[in-house]
Amino acid sequence: MPIDCEDQELLEGFLAETTELLEKLDDDLVALEKSSDDADLLNRIFRSIHTVKGASSFLGFDLLVKVTHKTEDVLNRLRKGELSVTPEFMDIILEATDLVKVLVNDIKAGEIQEREIDGTIAKLLPLLSDTPPGQPLPVEPPPAVSQPTPASPPKPQKPTVSPVPEPATPPPARQDPPAPAAVPQKTGGEIVAKKAVPPPKPAEGKGDDLSDNTTVRVDVKRLDDLMNQVGELVLERNRMIQINQDLQQGEAEKVDFNEEFGKLTKRMSFVTSELQMQVLKMRMLPVDKVFKKFPRIVRSMARDLGKEVELKIFGEETELDRSVVDEIGDPLIHLIRNAMDHGLETPDARLAAGKPRGGTLVLSAVHEGNQIIISIKDDGNGIDTERVGRKAVEKGLVSEEQLAAMSQRELFDLIFLPGFSTKDKASDLSGRGVGMDVVKTNIKKLNGLIEIKSEKGRGSEFILRLPLTLAIIQSLLVDVEGEVYSIPLSSVLESLRVDQRQFHLIGNREILKLRDMVLPLVRLESIFGVTRQNEKNDFCYVVVVGTAEKRMGLVVSRLVGQQEVAIKSLGKYLANIPGIAGSTILGDGRVALIIDPVGLVDGGDSR
Amino acid sequence: MSNALVPVRTDESHGELIQLVSFNLDREEYGVEVLKVREIIRMPVVTRVPNTPHFVEGVINLRGKVIPIISMRKKFGLMDCETDKQTRIIVMEVDGELKGFIVDAVSEVIRISSSEIQPSPAVVASGIDQDCIAGVINQAERLLVLLDLEKMFSHDEKNVFGS
């Protein structure tokens, strides 16, 4: 049924507000479970649901009204102290909010689907009667709790809708992202089993919340600042025109001109970089956008796995670019799932190991220079490198000899191999060996690095280093026999001047011994086929790049300097050139190619 | 460049009029449809792109946009020659994006009627890709080869970098 809403603006406002409220609601509900006597929190939850109800009844979304209304009633009883917060109770409330989300998403998609809502409502109803919750009551008309609508259970659907009461398949409008589909339904006991219609799964639909951000809310102050800056830019432009005119008419002395022009250049560069910062800031989103769905996920997973987990989140106000925010959701879910499933132990195992019953999962984000660092840390049993190694050999991913020669770090890296899993059987949650591969691929795509710290029995930490933005990057310009290339600074670890006589040859591969590390080298001039112009020089520069979990040295003739560059696409004709990520335009108008260290490192393996 | 030099020959023409940009390449004259041509520029500094087919000369900065440059001589297997004052890049929209093509010289815009286009003879100048020749135009004292550059990227080259 298409939505006939006369006022499109009103509808958009409703959607924006509701989406925001619902996102917050999830968080609050999970928090409520922990501190059930927090009256403020409860009131806030109540208000959110009430607002959604009010707005949807005004706009005539009947299904939405029904669900929110019942939920509100239940919450009202909770507020009055007639009910208490139990995990079962929360399951039902969370299911109801999930249903609300599905309904809102339908509206967002522009098509109201006929949804089976009675199942969820039926679960809410017992909570409205005086019988203690959790008891599998047959659904019956609830007694005299303040309740305006006659709440006889499975109400006939609205007459206007097509008489298909049980659409057995989810509507096509929602593409179920494959990854979150693995998140299981909450344990609702036999109640869930009763339902013929697939209930909305917790993570479904939420995954795409982020990607459909077509409009931006910008702080008015930021907009004002931007306007100010543009004003300044206009002034500087006028100044420039003036200087040019003076010069053309021969009025300006050469000395004057030089001085004036120098000043102008300085001011211009100041204003433009300010402007750039402002625009970048407007594209920034707090990482909270991604983080806030995790309490829910962690909660439902903990219940499924029978583990006790406390999720602590730090630095959720850290901001990063929209493009990055959209991309890190999936990898983080996988890492959290990994930590919950493999890292943290069951309460019994923890007690046996002399640890507190409940495990702790710490998710934190922090800025460091031009990067954002996100860490996921658990206090579980850490990575058992022996077991990892054995499994990798069993699965034929590495050979015995390779395994024997591996360092601790390389052993950790094994878990990123596609198809690797320590589980013998794939479960709902994990075991297919896909998750960590997804993590690696996505992080690489973002030019990020992954670092693993793990101590057996004490826990592990996954550290992601990501660039703040993908549009403008800091880069190191290098000279390769006269051609200028740009290397993203985010993947440059260090650069050094080396005597070529220090290079060693292993097989036909050049390597460099750098401190305690053996660094494979790649000569850019040979893989890019640059014709040698200068005589062979004994000294050259080695730029050490690291991508995700590998390191390698790029041999270049000269370092030109560090520069902030805007990334330009090479177009689809020249897309996918091995080792080249894109291009940029230098100060003199020439094009310089941006090296893709990820591609080089991977390509370097096969060479 | 004026099209007054080639008056529209209404007496002979049947079918619609089309306008062509004609250019030279190693003594031969070629034409492409004018609607495809975005602009014609002089040779700027070209940045070489490694690991590309030999006829991809590199990329240039066209007012803030980076576009690939293809050498027509190399593409057609002709002798390479030095760029001179006549050398031009024809920027065209081919296959949905802008590309630049290096030619020896651009001469003029001519108008012909579509009925003047004859199918290309079985054997044409050596090395030239048969597929991208859309036809031949035989006017009194000149022979013009009409190119369809979309076809140039239709099969093999398009897939060179395809994932």
pLDDT tens for residues A126-185? 777 655 444 444 444 444 434 444 444 444 444 443 444 444 444 444 444 444 433 344
Residues of A in contact with B45 (CB under 8 A): 589-590
Nearest CB partner across the interface for A571, out of B68, B158, B163: B68
* Nearest chain A residue to B47, by CA: A591
Residues of B in contact with A603 (CB under 8 A): none
Which residue in the block uniquely carries the two structure tokens 């601790």?
Answer: A408
Q: Which residue of A479, A485, A533, A574 is the best one to mutate when testing the B interface, meaning the one whose CB has the most B CBs within 10 A? A: A574
> Does residue A173 sit within a domain?
no
d(CA B153, CA B132) in angstroms, rounded, equals: 9
Domain boundary among A427, A446, A467: A467
* Nearest chain B residue to A530, by CA: B50
Residues A330 and A447 in one domain: yes
Containing domain of residue A580, as a range? 472-606
Residues of A in contact with B99 (CB under 8 A): 571, 573
Q: How far does the CA of residue A498 sit from the closest CA of chain B (Å)?
A: 25
The listed CATH number (2.40.50.180, 3.30.70.980, 3.30.450.40, 1.25.40.420) that belongs to domain B17-153: 2.40.50.180
Taking an 8 Å cut-off on Cβ atoms, the answer to whether B51 and A577 are in contact is yes
Residues A152 and A14 in one domain: yes
Residues of B in contact with A523 (CB under 8 A): none
| Closest C-alpha among A135, A113, A111 to residue A125 | A135
Report percent pLDDT > 90 for chain A.
3
Q: What pLDDT score does A432 carry?
A: 64
d(CA A585, CA A292) in angstroms, rounded, equals: 39
- The 3-class SS string of B92-125 reads EEECCEEEEEEECEEEEEEEEEHHHEECCCCCCC
d(CA A163, CA A173) in angstroms, rounded, equals: 20
Domain boundary among A282, A300, A333: A282
Residues A256 and A329 in one domain: no
Residue A31 confidence (pLDDT) above 50: yes
> Does residue A172 sit within a domain?
no
d(CA A20, CA A418) in angstroms, rounded, equals: 36
CATH for A322: 3.30.565.10
Residues A16 and A125 in one domain: yes
> Does residue A407 sit within a domain?
yes
In this structure, the number of other CB atoms found within 10 A of the CB of residue A22 comes to 20
Residues A331 and A449 in one domain: yes
Taking an 8 Å cut-off on Cβ atoms, the answer to whether A573 and B51 are in contact is no
Q: How confident is the model at residue A477 (pLDDT cuts 50, 70, 90)?
A: very high
Give me the mean pLDDT over the A351-366 stretch: 87
Instruction: Supply the ipTM of this predicted assembly.
Output: 0.77
Residues A476 and A463 in one domain: no
Taking an 8 Å cut-off on Cβ atoms, the answer to whether A577 and B161 are in contact is yes
Please give the torsion angle defined by the CA atoms of residues A555, A561, A567 and A570, in that order, rounded to the nearest 10 degrees: -50
d(CA B104, CA B87) in angstroms, rounded, equals: 5
Taking an 8 Å cut-off on Cβ atoms, the answer to whether A576 and B47 are in contact is no
Residues of A in contact with B63 (CB under 8 A): none
Q: How far does the CA of residue B19 sit from the closest CA of chain A (Å)?
A: 27
Nearest CB partner across the interface for B61, out of A569, A573, A590: A590
Q: How far does the CA of residue B90 sit from the closest CA of chain A (Å)?
A: 17
Angle, helices A39-59 vs A8-34, to 10°: value is 160
Taking an 8 Å cut-off on Cβ atoms, the answer to whether B61 and A571 are in contact is no
Give me the mean pLDDT over the A355-363 stretch: 87
Taking an 8 Å cut-off on Cβ atoms, the answer to whether A529 and B50 are in contact is yes
Residue A407 confidence (pLDDT) above 70: yes
d(CA A88, CA A145) in angstroms, rounded, equals: 21
Residues of A in contact with B97 (CB under 8 A): 571-573
Residue A417 confidence (pLDDT) above 70: yes
Give me the mean pLDDT over the A338-343 stretch: 83
Q: How far does the CA of residue B45 sit from the closest CA of chain A (Å)?
A: 7
CB neighbour list of residue A165: distance below 8 Å, 6 or more residues apart: A114, A116, A157
* Nearest chain B residue to A569, by CA: B66
C-alpha dihedral sign at A272, A277, A281, A287: positive
Taking an 8 Å cut-off on Cβ atoms, the answer to whether A528 and B67 are in contact is no
Write the burial class of residue A359 (CB in 10 Å: 0-12 exposed, 13-18 middle, 19+ buried).
buried
Taking an 8 Å cut-off on Cβ atoms, the answer to whether B97 and A483 are in contact is no
Count of CB contacts below 8 A, A vs B? 76
Taking an 8 Å cut-off on Cβ atoms, the answer to whether A570 and B45 are in contact is no
Q: What pLDDT score does B40 carry?
A: 92
Residue A355 confidence (pLDDT) above 80: yes
> Does residue A203 sit within a domain?
no
d(CA A381, CA A451) in angstroms, rounded, equals: 18
CATH for A91: 1.20.120.160
d(CA A419, CA A239) in angstroms, rounded, equals: 62
* Nearest chain A residue to B67, by CA: A570
Across the beta sheet with A517-523, what order do the strands follow?
A492-499, A539-547, A550-556, A517-523, A509-514, A504-506
CB neighbour list of residue A43: distance below 8 Å, 6 or more residues apart: A79
Give me the mean pLDDT over the B65-71 stretch: 90
pLDDT tens for residues B87-117? 999 999 888 888 999 999 998 898 888 888 8
Residues of B in contact with A589 (CB under 8 A): 44-45, 61
Nearest CB partner across the interface for A574, out of B49, B61, B96: B49
Q: How far does the CA of residue B64 sit from the closest CA of chain A (Å)?
A: 7
Question: Of the ranges A63-67, A116-120, A491-495, B6-10, which is most confident?
Answer: A491-495
Tokens of A550: 């590998």
Q: Which residue of B66, B95, B149, B161 is the best one to mutate when testing the A interface, meaning the one whose CB has the most A CBs within 10 A? A: B66
pLDDT tens for residues A101-127? 888 888 877 776 677 777 777 777 777
C-alpha dihedral sign at A537, A541, A546, A550: positive
* Nearest chain A residue to B158, by CA: A573
Residue type, A430: S
Gyration radius of chain A over CA positions: 29
Nearest CB partner across the interface for A591, out of B60, B162, B163: B60
> Does residue A1 sit within a domain?
no
Residues A508 and A572 in one domain: yes
In this structure, the number of other CB atoms found within 10 A of the CB of residue A32 comes to 20
> Does residue A167 sit within a domain?
no
CATH for A503: 2.40.50.180
Q: How far does the CA of residue A202 sit from the closest CA of chain B (Å)?
A: 35
d(CA A570, CA A577) in angstroms, rounded, equals: 10
d(CA A75, CA A25) in angstroms, rounded, equals: 13
Contact A355, A314 (CB under 8 A): no
Q: What pLDDT score does B68 carry?
A: 92
Maximum separation of any 2 CA atoms in chain A, in Å: 96
Q: How far is CA A163 from CA A18, A67, A115, A156, A160, in A?
A: 28, 20, 12, 10, 9
Residues of B in contact with A445 (CB under 8 A): none
Instruction: DSSP for A222-283, please give it.
Output: HHHHHHHHHHHHHHHHHHHHHHHHHHHTT-S-HHHHHHHHHHHHHHHHHHHHHHHHHHHHHT
CB neighbour list of residue B162: distance below 8 Å, 6 or more residues apart: A576
Secondary structure class of A177 (helix, strand, coil)? coil
Give me the mean pLDDT over the A283-295 stretch: 83
pLDDT higher for A89 or A154?
Answer: A89
Tokens of B8: 């529209």
Maximum separation of any 2 CA atoms in chain B, in Å: 52
Least confident of A10-24, A212-226, A295-309, A426-440: A426-440
* Nearest chain A residue to B59, by CA: A591
- Polymer length of chain A: 607
Taking an 8 Å cut-off on Cβ atoms, the answer to whether A590 and B47 are in contact is yes
Taking an 8 Å cut-off on Cβ atoms, the answer to whether B50 and A590 are in contact is no
Secondary structure class of A443 (helix, strand, coil)? helix
| Closest C-alpha among A89, A90, A173 to residue A131 | A89
Q: How far does the CA of residue A589 sit from the closest CA of chain B (Å)?
A: 7
Taking an 8 Å cut-off on Cβ atoms, the answer to whether A591 and B68 are in contact is no
Taking an 8 Å cut-off on Cβ atoms, the answer to whether A527 and B50 are in contact is yes
d(CA A161, CA A158) in angstroms, rounded, equals: 6
pLDDT higher for A159 or A262?
Answer: A262
Q: How far does the CA of residue A574 sit from the closest CA of chain B (Å)?
A: 7
Tokens of B131: 């597929």
B162 phi and psi angles, rounded to 5 deg? -60, 145
> Does residue A207 sit within a domain?
no
Q: How far is CA A96 from CA A164, A353, B114, in A?
A: 22, 38, 68
According to DSSP, the β-strands at A539-547 and A492-499 are antiparallel
Residues A347 and A410 in one domain: yes
> Does residue A205 sit within a domain?
no
Indicate the number of domains in chain A.
Answer: 4
Taking an 8 Å cut-off on Cβ atoms, the answer to whether B61 and A592 are in contact is no
Residue A585 confidence (pLDDT) above 80: yes
Q: What pLDDT score does B100 carry?
A: 92
Domain boundary among A424, A442, A467: A467
pLDDT tens for residues A429-476? 565 667 788 888 888 777 777 888 888 888 889 988 887 766 777 889
Mean pLDDT of chain A: 75
Q: What pLDDT score does B130 carry?
A: 67
Contact A462, A560 (CB under 8 A): no
Q: How far does the CA of residue A345 sit from the closest CA of chain B (Å)?
A: 42
Nearest CB partner across the interface for B66, out of A483, A529, A568: A568
Report percent pLDDT > 70 for chain B.
77
Taking an 8 Å cut-off on Cβ atoms, the answer to whether B50 and A528 are in contact is yes
